Amino acid sequence: MTRAAPEPRKTLDPDVVAQWLARHPDFFVGREGLLQQLRVPHPEARGATSLLERLVADLRGRAEHAEGRLEQLLDSARHNETQYRRTRELILALLEAEDTDALGQALATQLNEHFQTPAVALWCSPTLTDAEPQAPQPPRHVLDDHTAQRLAALLEDRSSRCARLTRSDWQRLLPHVPVPEKSGSCAITRLTVGESWGYMVLASPTQDHFRASMDTLFTEYVGDVVARRLVQLTPGYR
């Protein structure tokens, strides 16, 4: 008599099992012993571990990830608070300046001490500087045609921009600051209140301190305040 061939062993589709368990979350209620018998791959070492131990390891990993994420958020909050306080001190110093030279000095001091910006120049329109009783003191300078053309070229038809600064550009745009051994970088913004009153240049001897990809919102904000204070403090324009 010929022996019948055994039927092929049937296996359950893992996805079907997972879906069934998801629809029946109380399946293991009363079957705690089954939970203890289940063995799953260990997440960090060879071999297997119990399902409960694996769950504990997963929960620990999630907790560590959440803790790291929380620390990042706290670091970001602390950084933002520090930047806010520094910006507040800068703006208050600009508002308290009694004349245009004091305004330039306050700007240079605050940016150097709190924003790692060692070089600053304010190129003011002759319309403003001609109304002053004496020549401006650095970091303020009278804007001439050659300098205006170079600043406009660096801006590339934008209101503000970060760019590399060659040694010759440094000598032209920051004549009161020693020229660095290598090229530096700068952030430039127009000083505008209804009309153009000049330019503000923030510079660093480090080439990547002001990168072309950087946002210039802070530079524009400070430039707006400086422009308004220049107009307010210039005789005949109050």
Task: Tell me, yes or no, whether 78 and 175 share the same domain.
Answer: no
Q: Is the dihedral of CA 218, 221, 116, 162 positive or negative?
A: positive
- CA dist list (Å): 120 to 31, 50, 105, 207: 74, 65, 9, 16
Contact between 142 and 126 (Cβ < 8 Å): yes
Q: What is the mean pLDDT of residues 75-101?
A: 93
Average pLDDT, the chain: 86
Q: How far apart are CA 155 and CA 189, in angstroms?
A: 8
Task: Tell me, yes or no, whether 105 and 75 share the same domain.
Answer: no
Task: Tell me, yes or no, whether 155 and 229 share the same domain.
Answer: yes
Those residues with Cβ within 8 angstroms of residue 76's Cβ, 6 or more apart along the chain or in another chain:
none
* Per-residue model confidence (pLDDT) at position 5: 56
Task: Tell me, yes or no, whether 41 and 78 share the same domain.
Answer: yes
Does residue 8 lie in a domain region? no
Task: Tell me, yes or no, whether 176 and 121 share the same domain.
Answer: yes
On the question of pLDDT at 4 being above 60, the answer is no
Task: Tell me, yes or no, whether 138 and 204 share the same domain.
Answer: yes
- Structurally, how many domains does the chain consist of? 2
Q: How far apart are CA 169 and CA 179, in angstroms?
A: 9
Does residue 210 lie in a domain region? yes
- Among residues 78, 96, 114, the one where a domain terminates is 96
Task: Tell me, yes or no, whether 133 and 215 share the same domain.
Answer: yes
Q: What is the CA 154 to chain-centroid distance, rounded?
A: 22
Q: How far apart are CA 122 and CA 189, in angstroms?
A: 10
Domain that holds residue 54: 32-96
- Look up the pTM and report it: 0.72
